[in-house]
Structure 1
Amino acid sequence: MARASQLVGLFLVLCASLLWGPAALAQETPRVMGEPVPHERALSTERYQDCGLRKRAVNASVSHRPVPKQSREASATIEVDYGENFTTEAEDAFERAVDVWETHISSPVPIQVQASYEALGEGTLAAAGPNFFYGVDATGNGETDVFAGDALTDAIVGEEANPQEPDIVVRVNNQLNGPGDWHFGPGDAPEGTIDFTSVALHELGHGLNYIDFFSVDQERGEYPSNTDGESRILGTYDRQVVSNDGELSYRALTNTSFYPNPSDELGSALTSNRVFFQGEASEATAELGTGPALPKLYAPGSFAGGSSIAHLDEDTYQPETQNALMTPIIDQAETNRLPGPIMCGQFRDMGWPLGVGCEQYFQDLFAVSVQEVDGQSGSRTLSWSEANDANIQEYIIDRRYFGGSFEEMKRVDASEVAGSSLTVEDLGLGAFEFRLRWVRENGSTASSPERVRDTVTVRDVSTTITGRDEQGRGTVDLSWTVPPGTSSDFLYRVERRTGEEGAFQPVATVPQDGDASDEQSKQYTVKGQTPGRYEYRVRAQDGAGNAVTSAAREAQIDFEGDVYALGPYPNPVRETASFDLTAREPQSVQVEVYNTLGEQVYAEQREVRAQDPTSLSIDASQWASGMYFLRLRGDGSVGQTKKMIVVQ
């Protein structure tokens, strides 16, 4: 990470009443203003190569790790292009950090990361930041309000501002050796090692806009401005940075009435050890810990390029606290794989849409999920996490059926809920979306922004080969179970696919026998099935055309040899002889017909897919009445020879 330098020709003015984040976005559609500015122009190149995260040869032996991912649905997609030097174990460790951020932020646009694993020198662990910065009109007045990096800009605007370029550039040092070497594993970092995943999580945070434009040169503080010194580049992070004068009053460091740009006054504030991050969400999350009312930033008496301002204060947020990830020092054996509440608050104040990992700090209920219920076909359990001070009186589960309107399905008094879960029974077949609402003790209501989805389809689909006829054709019994609560207007279409690559085709339709108040078993029998491989599935469809489809089940009707022919039919043959061909492996099959004199009267080369019966029709209208012999020759082997009678 780095600090600001003079930037000629850019003009960005902060509006005194600037709105940013959810309140502003609900009013206007934000948009990008002007051309993207490469990070080399917005920040000094030298400092951009070092984010100021330092290792300390002290074993913290602490661990902050996320809950299992299955309870948190990803709300962002982060795609990483790893450089050629990245080892497999380093990639795996980096991906664990990616997984965490994908559940803590939300973006409709995939976030592209370019990551390299290279020599950065002994004092540097890693470096990261946005690749470009953009002026953003957040209020819709046609003027640039604030400056943001790639990923945040894309998330706010809702589209890729610069699709040809990565959004975040990360460089990780591959030269750590001896004490303080990298720990790549999924478990806690042992003593004497630095946790690679924790560092990657920290650096990705900088790339997601945890970055400032301030700098100090010979006691004069500044941030980028154009040549006339009036218009200023103001980042989403910078506008939240305030200084405390010791009397519980805070002044924005971008307020030029108190801190001209550049000025000694600004330089003094940046090195005062009294710098904080001000914002409604940041203040709310700071209250969850034991620190000051506002998140305190790292601002030592000697300005530390790459470390000052864009980190939380190390002394205030020690490794054992839940807000230690973004401090400028990481200890050995410090496993910190969670952004923490304060960082989530800062992201919210900067305008980031949040995922459930961060939303938990701002809601009564969060991390809602849905699971099947063992032994209860058609039932689902909704589970959630709950804030300690939620004070909920009543829970409500709403259901949406096949994309229709939400309807209340269950309402339960909080005193009757054991743990943080509720089960809804007898849903019947359908594609469902569930919403959890609640009523607080003061009578106010709220709803989780998370919508959990699940599909209930027929269960226990099975196929059984129950017999063979004299020609080797099989009988397939297909059975399935219909869950209770299923409407009487459902029909069940049996579909079949031959071989391994064919499309599913309808075979038959089975009606519903009244409302399925109890679980129902259904069956359909397919006779005369040519040897080969098949897959069967059941597509259940209601009267409105809504449908759910079961998983497919295989039915294998075996045969002898490498190539098999079923037929001819009809037999005797009059004009056309029809056969079904099946091959054990994909191959080219030579089809030949000979008369009783050994003369070849027909030949064809046919490509046959594995276990996929294919039809063969031979025109016999010009042949004399009598006996003929069909011979099949596969690749490297002789298949069957079959007799057929032609009658003219």
Structure 2
Amino acid sequence: MIRTSQRAGLFLMFCAFLLSGPTTLAQEAPRVMGEPVPHEQVLSTERYQDCGLHRRAVNASVSHRPSPKQNHRASATIEVDYGENFTPEAEDAFERAVEVWETHISSPVSIQVQASYESLREGALAVAGPSNFYRVDATGNGELDVFAGDALTDAIVGEEANPQEADIIVRVNSQMSDWHFGPGDAPAGTIDFTSVALHELGHGLNYVDLFSVDNQGTGEYSSDTDGGSRILGVYDRQVVSDEGGLSFRALTNTSFYPNPSDELGSALTSNRVFFRGEASETSAELGTGLALTRLYAPRQFSGGSSIAHLDEDTYQSETRNALMTPIIDQAETNRLPGPIMCGQFRDMGWPLGVGCEQYFQDLFAVSVQEVEGQNGSLTLSWSEQDEANIQEYIVDRRYFGEEFEAIKRVGASEVTGSSLTVEDLGLGAFEFRLRWVRENGATVSSPERVRDTITVRDVATTISSRDEQGRGTIDLAWTVPPGTSADFAYRIERRTGEGGSFQPVATVPQDGDASDEQSKQYAVEGQTPGRFEYRIRAEDENGNAVTSTAREARIDFEGDVYALGPYPNPVRETASFDLTARESQSVTVEVYNTIGERVYRDQREVRAQDPSFLSIDASQWASGVYFLRLRDEASVGQTKK
């Protein structure tokens, strides 16, 4: 999270803004179609001035907070730009809400929030919503699939659609005298600031609808005044009315509910409105046992509250799905989205983080780590539902892109700490998946795939000796992990100076299968002074390869410039040298005969610690002794006979 001063921009008075989009994620390259649509063009801002979240002067004295034992890794980054009136304690409370959402959703793009702390109209706790909306071709077929707010658009497209503006605008009422800002549960008589911030950020992340009912009872959903076409929101697509007898009709089905129409208005105020989707149906059963998620649809339509909230009577404060109801009680601490909201987000197209995925998988958050002090072994770790009833775990391995094969089966009673270690894998590029067998005998596979690479380790470079010309011998050493196939050979590669590509130097064969850890060495003799990097590329007979990290080797020299050569010596037709400079500079190269006549001069640009090749044509020179003189930018560097 980033805390900065208030950035320039409009403070918008809205909360549960509208969006439409697909019920599944894009399969090909998604893209934004056209320009951003400002929120005012989609829906009147006055409709959501109080955001529909109301306080009730009843002490609920309930708490739903993340467990301190849970260590969910963040899968999204939410950066908040705080206004100048935000107090430190209000910022801390807001950040707790941010941290919750960062583990419950997933996005490759940072979500930018502009937050202000100011006086709002009486009764308003806070207001929030997306800044703009976008037409998105989510499937890459050139057609409009999604009409989405900033944050969801960025998550679907995979890049920032509008980096010039914030994705979510939040305004919090600074005139409330009973805010609770602390990390603990809200005491009696107070409203929990973090719970309200979490609720409002949920609206900004697209928990929104487009429906409205006018004073005559006519219901409709919004139109795009720019193009004149009706906009069907992804949330709205999944809103259905209970017609009785387990019969449900989508409120966007114009065969039954023309848009606009009195029929639609009646349905929106029937108190029989539900959110229908595969994930939300699964998560609804985790709560009340209802087949579908019941939405708030009172007889008197309330803009900002109706439809865009869960039903208050069904999901009361003591339940874990109470965050998105339209009422927050005093002493109600609710800092978790809950399974139903996670299911709705999934149905709307949000990629989920660990905090939400836990409701849809027995196992989730699979990861892989190296085992300290145990070369060639990896540990798979995961999180698990409390009532998963798993009998056996199966680890499948894919080696260099081949087919998956089962390499380990372990009974649940043998597993402690939700982790398994796979030993003696050897060298290679690996992909793992975790399967498990339930109590009923069904085998389930995690959709998550985790990858890691095992290379040679402990690569070391040591300068063991120097010859009379200052050249060094570099001793290379490395270890090969147990389990490595005899098919591997080890190519030593070198890069000179600060850049350039690695070039092969030598190849060392494998000595049979490495049932135990092996140590290998190779000596590079006659290394010119300068800076070098060495690495080991292990490659098998099929061309599969893994490469170690590079290690530096630096052979020093006296002075500021150095010349190795000439070779051959005596010179016949061409004199060849290797030039090295301590710092990047221009070096003057001169050759003189014994009577002081200069027979050669050249100006060379030499990079720091990077030997460069110099070739001089001596075919026209008379036989005899000559002197090579190197001049750096400041003085004479070296004279060689």
Aligned residues: 613
What letter corresponds to residue 363 of structure 1 in structure 2? Q
Distance of 1:516 and 1:292 partners within structure 2? 58
For 1:166-177, what aligned pairs fall within 5 Å after superposition?
169-173=167-171, 176=174
1:339 to partner: Cα distance: 3.5
1:149 is aligned to 148
Say which is worse superposed, 311-320 or 538-547, in terms of deviation: 311-320
Q: Deviation string for 1:84-110 (max 9, x for gaps)?
A: 9999x9999999988876765568xx6
Q: Secondary structure of 1:488's partner?
A: coil
Q: Secondary structure of 1:419's partner?
A: coil
2:490 is aligned to 492
1:8 is aligned to none
For 1:247-258, what aligned pairs fall within 5 Å after superposition?
none
What letter corresponds to residue 130 of structure 2 in structure 1? G
Distance of 2:372 and 2:17 partners within structure 1? 58
Q: What TM-score does the superposition give when structure 1 sets the normalisation length?
A: 0.76
For 1:184-583, what aligned pairs fall within 5 Å after superposition?
199=197, 202=199, 205-218=202-215, 220=217, 222-224=219-221, 234-241=232-239, 270=268, 276-289=274-287, 294-299=292-297, 303-313=301-311, 322-327=320-325, 338-352=336-350, 354-583=352-581
Q: Secondary structure of 1:220's partner?
A: coil
Judge conservation of contact 1:48–1:128 (CA < 8 Å) in 2. Answer: no
Distance of 1:568 and 1:135 partners within structure 2? 67
Q: Deviation string for 1:422-464 (max 9, x for gaps)?
A: 2211111110111111222222221111111111111111111
1:556 to partner: Cα distance: 1.7
1:620 is aligned to 618
2:130 is aligned to 129
Distance of 1:245 and 1:349 partners within structure 2? 22
1:118 to partner: Cα distance: 6.2
Q: Secondary structure of 1:522's partner?
A: strand
Aligned pair 1:643/2:637, yes or no? no
Judge conservation of contact 1:471–1:566 (CA < 8 Å) in 2. Answer: yes
Q: Secondary structure of 2:463's partner?
A: strand
2:5 is aligned to none
What letter corresponds to residue 132 of structure 1 in structure 2? F
1:359 to partner: Cα distance: 2.8
Say which is worse superposed, 350-359 or 29-38, in terms of deviation: 29-38
Distance of 1:468 and 1:439 partners within structure 2? 63
1:130 to partner: Cα distance: 7.5
Q: Deviation string for 1:211-246 (max 9, x for gaps)?
A: 11122332625223789xxx9754332244356799
Aligned pair 1:632/2:633, yes or no? no
What letter corresponds to residue 149 of structure 1 in structure 2? A
Say which is worse superposed, 512-521 or 568-577, in terms of deviation: 568-577
1:488 to partner: Cα distance: 0.6
Judge conservation of contact 1:114–1:166 (CA < 8 Å) in 2. Answer: no
For 1:102-141, what aligned pairs fall within 5 Å after superposition?
104=104, 115-116=113-114, 122=120, 123=124, 125-129=126-130, 131-132=132-133, 134=135
1:210 to partner: Cα distance: 1.8
Distance of 2:310 and 2:273 partners within structure 1? 10
Say which is worse superposed, 548-557 or 413-422, in terms of deviation: 413-422
1:558 to partner: Cα distance: 1.9
Ranges in structure 2 where 5+ consecutive residues have no aligned partner: 1-13
Aligned pair 1:42/2:42, yes or no? yes
The root-mean-square deviation of aligned C-alpha atoms, in Å, is 5.1
What letter corresponds to residue 523 of structure 2 in structure 1? T
Distance of 1:466 and 1:220 partners within structure 2? 91
Judge conservation of contact 1:530–1:566 (CA < 8 Å) in 2. Answer: yes
What letter corresponds to residue 216 of structure 1 in structure 2? V
Distance of 1:499 and 1:323 partners within structure 2? 61
Say which is worse superposed, 345-354 or 380-389, in terms of deviation: 345-354
Q: Secondary structure of 1:237's partner?
A: helix
Identity %: 66
1:538 to partner: Cα distance: 0.5
Distance of 2:62 and 2:474 partners within structure 1? 61
What letter corresponds to residue 310 of structure 1 in structure 2? A
2:9 is aligned to none
Alpha carbons of structure 1 residues 492 and 31: separation in structure 2 relative to 1, 3 Å: closer
1:510 to partner: Cα distance: 0.5
